[in-house]
Structure 1
């Protein structure tokens, strides 16, 4: 069928409210999707005829270049095959020691702030976390010597993929950490529960390792709920490079597709009446037990272009929260102003300020 641009429309207070599938224009034609069935179809779609929009390179090229995040077609496929294997579970295990060392530096920095300010330290959470495998650069260099590169030169392939690895492994996990600390500070019962688990798993051991971290089930639930409520990348975008059929919807060439994660992640029809409430307990039986469909939860994107660094990001967050909770008690500063701001990423407009006390 042709695109049902206005799938349904109601009147609320004299204002037209569009449904979960509609077309609008913002310089070019766009299809807004929060219809779960169509999200499922996009997730299953594997043709290279559905890619990323050109504006990511044209307008944000200085930041993102033409690397894995923005490329399309055969060059994207080559980049994916080059980079994704370096971010798998076994590689992440090798990164844990470096993550813990980085987290220890943060802990020591906070301790100095508290010692200088007295019992409570006011910490503005703007730190950035992120790490990559030691041999990632070598892999990218080797990828520049073989496979499909056009329209990139070898130098562009190297530089742009380094940009994307740095940006993807730096900003979204840092924002997730910021939002997560805000939520833990705002919900002391979950902070205490997660801390208790961390201390029980560690059993007095000083150095975290992969096996210990993998046992922290409560912390995993907390992180999943943080990413549900505040996904760093809140918009999944696609572009029809050719006319494509997604499920029973015919999408003309040149039409963009926007999936707004906040609408999907906070839909009461999918998550229940407490969809806007911080409740990690919903993930006790995993994603499939938390909502009506696993495709309603896509903090790392969806389909063939799902973030290859999701395992690394989850481990980074687990390490960071475990180290902080085992050393500090956190609460919200009275100076904190809650104001999520959606731009390229979903970030706190005024930062996050916490009261931090050593345990």
Structure 2
């Protein structure tokens, strides 16, 4: 089947660039002509406003006549005039970020094609530490909200660079720079392959983030605690859940993983970390003597909690909690994704397939790492 670019007779890279430029032009034009509708009630309310509110540790943010105010009580937010932006995600923003991700991946394919990399599985494993780094870096910002760390790290507006979803672009930029540096070192003859230094850069960035968090514990920084039991339970629980899922696949439906191989297990494990981290953070914190439970920030998490609480009897919820279905959903979804990536997909579009697998793992392991470490360090 011919691609869109082939049917219209256009260069794929120019078609992609022109399409992105056209969308940006439409948004800018709408911003100029209808600023309140396009910027205030769309771009700001669903995308930039939540980041501002989160960066300023506010319950919500409001915008009127170009002035942003940060409110610190739920009641004030409920009675504030629209537009009102709350920290976290909405269905509108999640759809917008999903579309942005797919468009960015398409552009990245063109870059990898020019660099002539990204077709083998070593590329996937070389990027693995960066997904952990993204989650750890987000917790660094969480710790930055503590009294002792505020002066040590960046403050608003620079802290928006490490707040979701802007942090995805930040980590992407760091990862891209690491890829370019590693490939350049290989092409210069300094090293034999770019994968090892790329993995090393990601591991180093992760170590720096974790080192900062550990330093806060060692120096007894206010607002920062250390609950190793949370880290242990999450990692062990995720590994057991992923291992059980993998055993079922290999035993009863090995065709599901015929295309991805070991990458399939890594993806399932990454999403199991996200699922278990949610169960532990939202339900098990008091039971683990690790402080109060966290609050779900994603609409999907909140939806699962609400449905479970409404369907199951209160006596059952009191024992099992109301977030465990989220782990089941994550395992089923990850298994489905693994099944979709059959061998033929890798043969037809190896670079795009690898990038999609990286993205699939990142959207699970990144938030999962953040939730796990946030609960572990009590921030």
TM-score by length of 1: 0.30
Higher relative contact order (CA 8 A, sep 6+): 1
Point out the structure with the larger helix share.
2
Point out the structure with the larger strand share.
1
